[in-house]
């Protein structure tokens, strides 16, 4: 939309004159409207009030001349009743407008066509405000959000409104994912996609991890408080591609990687998905979202994870040909654990650790297993590590993986877990139901994946719940 510059100029002149007069007047009476911050905030408040009135006038003006009858969704007929006022809460605050109202059908429904046209629900927030509230809700705890929002919006919104809009955004994301799941199980869709796949990434990465969420429902008024708390796994999946990091932008860790003959890589085009659910069910989401990024069609699919059994079971089940890599840092950590447990003397511990770490780096996993087994009799950690390395032996051929230029660290999904779970779901005072935790996490994952606008568009097009 192009805005008319002349109209804006003339409105701006009026606004400037209004503040000029106010400043002069208040100067005379020695009251404060003198700092730039006071003037800025004052202007924002005036603009907000203008917006509030303008939006109401606009909506009322879009009301066409009422017809005497309209068709009802039930097949019957509704009759024009009267012009009826309504209120919605917009980005400017409460907006009042008038629109024609129809009722009188045998099905007892009533309807305002203007509300339908603009996706308005009287008494509720508009889609524009909903997007901002949910954005606060995925970043701040629900009880902190109103404070931040009041500073930005200049009016008050309740904690419950922020919570419900955030959860609704997550529910929309869940709906989108369910659509993908249905599609990905439909043979006709899969075949059509194979003929016209769109962009197929030449080398795609997938990575999975999980983080614990504390489920402790908030006690509700009049209900027996649920006192038990419970820890549930939030599983997180990330699809991504990688690119080399230019020398000047390398972190100290990446500079070290380069010294060790490993290319410094960073993730791009990240797509995060998450859920609290059993591995089998999560697998459907892995497959479905994989179809949406053409994971199954990519000539080179690389999976990274820690040693968790459920991860590799799903990868093998859905992507039998994928290259499987155990995160280098997890593997290295296991060796450190063994060294700490098996050697008390530093002069023995350090050379042992250096030797096995080098063997692991060179993909000599058999040597690593032997070194652990040699300590297994007297050291539980060594015995467990031997099993861990044996179970994951082909996923630790780091010499080959490095030669192929693969990323060997699963930091991308771990950072996703941190951003989705730790930085939001574990905020102080956070109390979650399973559904609330899932929806908030899904909304946050959508934001981190650049899928937010899609959700906002969907929120605008929501059918009315009346």
Output 64 or 74, the one with its CB closest to Zn ion: 74
For CA atoms 433, 437, 438, 439, give the dihedral sign. Answer: positive
CA–CA–CA angle 307, 309, 315 (5° rounding): 95
Shortest distance, CB of residue 86 to Zn ion, whole angstroms?
A: 20
Smallest separation, CB 100 to Zn ion (Å): 17
Give the nearer residue to Zn ion in terms of CB position, either 77 or 269. Answer: 77
Least distance from C-beta 119 to Zn ion, angstroms?
Answer: 21
Cβ closest to Zn ion, residue 62 vs residue 74? 74
Nearer to Zn ion, 41 or 73 (CB): 73
- Residue reference for tokens 């809700």: 137
Q: How many CB atoms lie within 10 A of CB 93?
A: 17
Closest separation between CB of residue 322 and Zn ion, Å? 54
Q: Is 210 helix (H, G, I), strand (E, B) or coil?
A: strand
Shortest reach from residue 117's CB to Zn ion, in Å: 19
Give the binding site for Zn ion (CB under 5 A): 72, 74, 76, 105, 107, 109
Residues β-bridged to residue 82: 101
The β-bridge relationship of strands 300-305 and 203-215 is parallel
DSSP state of 218: P
Residue whose CB is less far from Zn ion, 41 or 106 = 106
Strands (E), 264-396: 265-275, 300-305, 323-326
Q: How far is the CB of 102 from Zn ion (least distance, A)?
A: 10
Only one residue has tokens 């979650």, namely 432
3-state DSSP helix/strand/coil % of the chain, to nearest 5: 55, 15, 30
Rounded Cα distance, 309 and 307, in Å: 6
In the complex with Zn ion, the residue whose CB is nearer, 104 or 122, is 104
Q: What is the DSSP string of 375-437?
A: HHTT-HHHHHHHHHHHHTGGGG-HHHHHHTT-----HHHHHHHIIIIIIIITSTT--B-HHHH
Closer CB to Zn ion, 13 or 106, in the complex: 106
Bridge partners, 132 (sequence order): none
Is the CB of 42 or the CB of 104 nearer to Zn ion?
Answer: 104
Burial class (CB in 10 A: 0-12, 13-18, 19+), 428: exposed
Q: Least distance to Zn ion from the beta carbon of 103, Å?
A: 9
Rounded to a whole number of angstroms, the minimum distance from the CB of residue 429 to Zn ion is 47
């Amino acid at each position: 939309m192009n805005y008319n510059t002349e109209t804006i100029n003339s409105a701006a002149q009026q606004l400037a004159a209004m503040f000029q007069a106010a400043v002069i007047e208040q100067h005379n009476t020695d009251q404060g409207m003198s700092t730039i911050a006071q003037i800025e905030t004052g202007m924002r408040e005036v603009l907000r009030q203008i917006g509030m009135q303008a939006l109401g006038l606009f909506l009322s003006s879009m009301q066409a001349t009422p017809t005497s009858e309209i068709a009802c969704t039930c097949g019957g007929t509704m009759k024009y009743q009267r012009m009826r006022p309504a209120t919605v809460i917009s980005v400017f605050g409460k907006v009042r407008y008038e629109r024609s109202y129809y009722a009188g059908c045998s099905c007892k429904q009533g309807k305002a066509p203007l509300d339908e046209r603009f996706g308005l629900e009287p008494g509720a927030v508009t889609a524009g405000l909903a997007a901002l509230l949910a954005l606060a809700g995925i970043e701040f705890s629900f009880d902190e959000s109103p404070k931040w929002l009041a500073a930005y919006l200049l009016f008050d919104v309740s904690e419950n409104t922020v919570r419900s809009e955030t959860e609704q955004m997550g529910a929309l994301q869940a709906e989108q994912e369910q659509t993908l799941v249905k599609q990905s199980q439909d043979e006709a869709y899969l075949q059509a996609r194979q003929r016209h796949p769109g962009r197929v990434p030449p080398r795609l990465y997938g990575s999975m991890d999980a983080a614990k969420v504390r489920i402790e429902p908030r006690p509700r008024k009049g209900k027996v408080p649920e006192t038990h708390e419970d820890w549930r796994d939030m599983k997180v999946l990330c699809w991504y591609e990688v690119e080399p990091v230019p020398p000047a932008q390398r972190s100290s860790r990446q500079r070290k990687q380069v010294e060790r003959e490993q290319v410094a890589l960073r993730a791009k085009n990240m797509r995060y998905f998450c859920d609290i659910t059993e591995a089998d069910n999560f697998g459907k989401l892995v497959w479905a979202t994989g179809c949406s990024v053409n994971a199954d069609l990519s000539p080179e699919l690389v999976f990274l994870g820690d040693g968790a059994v459920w991860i590799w079971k799903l990868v093998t089940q859905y992507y039998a040909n994928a290259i499987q890599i155990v995160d280098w840092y997890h593997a290295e950590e296991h060796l450190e654990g063994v060294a700490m447990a098996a050697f008390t003397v530093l002069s023995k511990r350090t050379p042992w650790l250096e030797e096995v770490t080098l063997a692991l780096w060179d993909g000599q996993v058999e040597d690593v297993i032997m070194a652990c087994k040699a300590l297994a009799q007297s050291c539980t950690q060594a015995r467990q590590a031997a099993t861990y390395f044996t179970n994951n032996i082909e996923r630790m051929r780091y010499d080959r993986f490095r030669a192929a230029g693969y990323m060997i660290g699963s930091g991308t999904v771990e950072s996703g877990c941190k951003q989705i779970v730790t930085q939001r779901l574990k905020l102080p005072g956070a109390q979650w139901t399973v559904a609330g935790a899932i929806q908030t996490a899904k909304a946050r994952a959508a934001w981190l994946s650049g899928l937010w606008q899609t959700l906002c568009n969907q929120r605008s097009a929501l059918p009315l719940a009346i």
